[in-house]
Amino acid sequence: MDYMQEISLKMTNYWNQLILNLPNYLAAIIVFVLGFILSRQVYKLSYQLINRYSKDLLVANFLAKSIRIIFLLLILILSLNLAGWGDVAKNLFAAAGLSAVVLGFAFKDIGENFISGVMLSFDRPFDLDDTIMVGDIFGKVKLMELRYTKLKPLMVEMSIFPIVTLSKKPFITTLKITIIVLIL
């Protein structure tokens, strides 16, 4: 058998395999697309449920996004298994786990900031419009995100602090005092 006939035979085998596996590939694509579309509804539903019980928009948004990402990863695993690429899925997620560790060390400050934001969003030592003192800056909290907090100092322009600053430096919050006056 010469070289050209061998290549022709291999190509014929590849095409036959492709045609035999085509229904599996189409099913995997359909499951992935439907799962992606459904993930938006999973996000909305989980956001509504969490928001109903927590009343904290920051926590509800974070948890709903996390649920959506986990749902999408499960759909991806299911799709790859349907396509007959289960080993590829295992290797892909093993590599992703190892990459996450390497990137975690490379972007330590960003990860530290994100984790501090998550911790502060659950602990919630201050709320919007609270007056706090961070270091030597004293002002009102105007916006809280997972990565940063905007603080409007009382005497100067708006300051934006990385969340990690608020988790590492001590800060002071002022008490909200409500005075009720009864007129008799």
pLDDT in tens, 69-124: 999 999 999 999 998 888 888 888 888 888 888 887 888 877 777 777 777 777 77
Residue 139 domain-assigned? Answer: yes
- Quote the Cα angle for 166-132-149, to 5°: 45
Looking at the structure, do residues 98 and 139 belong to the same domain, yes or no?
Answer: no
Domain residue limits at 42: 3-106
Looking at the structure, do residues 134 and 91 belong to the same domain, yes or no?
Answer: no
Taking a C-beta distance cutoff of 8 angstroms, is the pair 152, 142 a contact? yes
Q: pTM here?
A: 0.60
Residue 160 domain-assigned? Answer: yes
Which residue, 78, 106, 134, sits at the end of a domain? 106
Residue of higher predicted confidence among 152 and 31: 31
- pLDDT above 70 covers what percent of the chain? 85
Quote the number of domains for the chain: 2
Structure tokens at 119: 């911790």
Q: Which residues pair with 133 in a beta bridge?
A: 138, 172
Structure tokens at 22: 């085509």
List strand residue ranges (DSSP E) for 41-136, in order.
Answer: 131-134
The mean predicted confidence, pLDDT, of the chain is 80
> Is the confidence at residue 45, as pLDDT, over 90?
yes
The Cβ of residue 29 has, within 10 Å, a number of other Cβ atoms equal to 13
Residue 112 domain-assigned? Answer: no
Torsion 129-132-138-144 (CA) sign? negative
pLDDT digits (tens, 9 = 90+) for 141-162: 888 777 777 888 776 666 666 7
Q: What is the CATH number of the domain that holds 162?
A: 2.30.30.60
